[in-house]
């Protein structure tokens, strides 16, 4: 699914308020002027040819999350003893850039930068920005390459784009855990991540499948 920035922020506001949002897509046809009265007879063959012509097919542009440029992250704020939350927003912002595909990171960072100073100190708000950005990602195509487990491939993640293989590994790690991640949920979460992010998810779920799950590991900047 491809969502532009304006629609993305509308979705952020709707989910943050606890509502349910939806989108209606429409396609506009091509309108043609009717022929002038005196030209009706001579234009009949052309009109007939138009009616018999094959319908015009509109090809949607390919969904590509590798095109994007995340904005700068906010500077660290006041430390906790002075009523702030220190470098928390900065660290989460940098984590978005390190673990997500460019366009997905662009949305997550824009969401974080739009928060007030107080909201940036709420870990749940930061997690929501990252989660909504991931849920707006293009579906990941199937591939035959297995996950590297080493983070190789750099932040772009162009070498391997196979969320399914990573999800197979995650489901193996979560075997026997009640309410483990479904393949569908896992694919939806990992589709917007690059190799670095997917490797971190595998590492995190090896020990935190039961207590953190997909959402908790998705929001963990550092694997522990």
Give the per-residue pLDDT at 175. Answer: 83
Task: Work out the angle between the directed axes of helices 195-208 and 183-190 (0-180°, nearest 10).
Answer: 140
Question: Which helix (DSSP H) or strand (DSSP E) does residue 206 occupy?
Answer: helix 195-208
The three-class DSSP label of residue 100 is strand
Which of 95, 98, 96, 79 has the alpha carbon at shortest distance from 87? Answer: 79
Which residue bears the tokens 């591939």? Answer: 143
Q: What's the DSSP call for residue 116?
A: -
pLDDT tens digits, 59-79: 767 899 999 999 999 999 888
Give the per-residue pLDDT at 222. Answer: 58
Q: CA 171, CA 2: separation in Å to the nearest integer?
A: 27
Give pLDDT < 50 ranges for the chain. 15, 17-37, 39-40, 143-146, 148-160, 224
pLDDT tens digits, 192-209: 999 999 999 999 999 999
Q: CA 116, CA 125: separation in Å to the nearest integer?
A: 10
């Amino acid at each position: 699914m491809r969502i532009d920035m304006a629609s993305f922020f509308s979705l952020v506001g709707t989910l943050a308020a606890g509502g349910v949002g939806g989108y209606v897509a429409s396609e506009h046809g091509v309108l043609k002027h009717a022929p002038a009265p005196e030209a009706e007879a001579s234009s009949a063959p052309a009109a007939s040819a138009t009616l018999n012509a094959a319908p015009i097919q509109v090809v949607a542009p390919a969904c590509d999350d590798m095109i994007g440029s995340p904005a700068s992250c906010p500077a660290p704020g006041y430390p906790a003893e002075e009523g702030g939350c220190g470098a928390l927003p900065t660290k989460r912002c940098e984590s978005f850039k390190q673990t997500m595909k460019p366009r997905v990171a662009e949305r997550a960072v824009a969401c974080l930068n739009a928060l007030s100073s107080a909201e940036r100190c709420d870990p749940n708000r930061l997690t929501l920005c990252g989660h909504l950005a991931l849920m707006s990602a293009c579906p990941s195509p199937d591939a035959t390459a297995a996950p590297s487990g080493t983070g190789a491939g750099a932040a772009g993640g162009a070498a391997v784009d196979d969320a399914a293989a990573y999800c197979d590994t995650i489901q193996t790690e979560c075997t026997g855990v009640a309410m483990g991640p479904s393949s569908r949920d896992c694919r939806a979460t990992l589709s917007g991540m690059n190799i670095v992010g997917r490797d971190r998810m595998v590492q995190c779920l090896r020990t935190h499948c039961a207590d953190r799950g997909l959402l908790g590991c998705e929001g963990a900047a550092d694997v522990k």
